[in-house]
Amino acid sequence: MAGFNKVILLGNLTRNPELRYTPNGTPVASLGLAVSRRYKQGDELKEEVCFVDIVVFGKQAEHCGQYLSKGSGIIVDGRLQQRRWETEDGQKRSKHEVVAQTVTFMPKRQDGGGGGAEAPAHDDAGYESDEHV
């Protein structure tokens, strides 16, 4: 049976983007995204926040590094990926992250609306993961 791996998130950056380059020169940006959910529990309004690591490749990564900063709102369309590695002392580690296919910039809150700008998309096949950076 074929699988389906698609993630769409809307949230705010928790830190400034980190832009790096792979050994072959491919730009890679690492983003931290906070996605919140509000719900009512009895008469009380509560908020739950989920923190997600995002990885962006190519020209789109450079655009994220140039135009985004902590607090910026974005929409991420991508796929879920699990990375596995072993620490120097032999412990196995893993983490899930979203590999972005498109990142849409949301207008700043003080702008009063308008449409967001979308960083150009790419096909991430053939790009190295950021563990080689």
Per-domain boundaries in the chain: 7-125
- Residue 109's pLDDT band, with cuts at 50, 70 and 90, is low
pLDDT tens for 14-40 read 999 999 999 999 999 999 999 999 999
CB atoms closer than 10 angstroms to residue 64: 26
By CB neighbour count within 10 A (0-12 exposed, 13-18 middle, 19+ buried), where does 129 fall?
Answer: middle
- Can you tell me whether residue 64 is helix, strand or coil? helix
pLDDT tens for 85-107 read 999 999 999 999 999 999 999 98
CA-to-CA separations, 18 to 27, 28, 61, 87, 107, in angstroms, rounded: 10, 8, 9, 22, 21
- Token pair belonging to 69: 């900063």
The CATH T-level fold of domain 7-125 is: OB fold (Dihydrolipoamide Acetyltransferase, E2P) (2.40.50)
59, 65 contact by CB (below 8 A): no
CA-to-CA separations, 85 to 46, 59, 100, 117, in angstroms, rounded: 36, 27, 21, 35
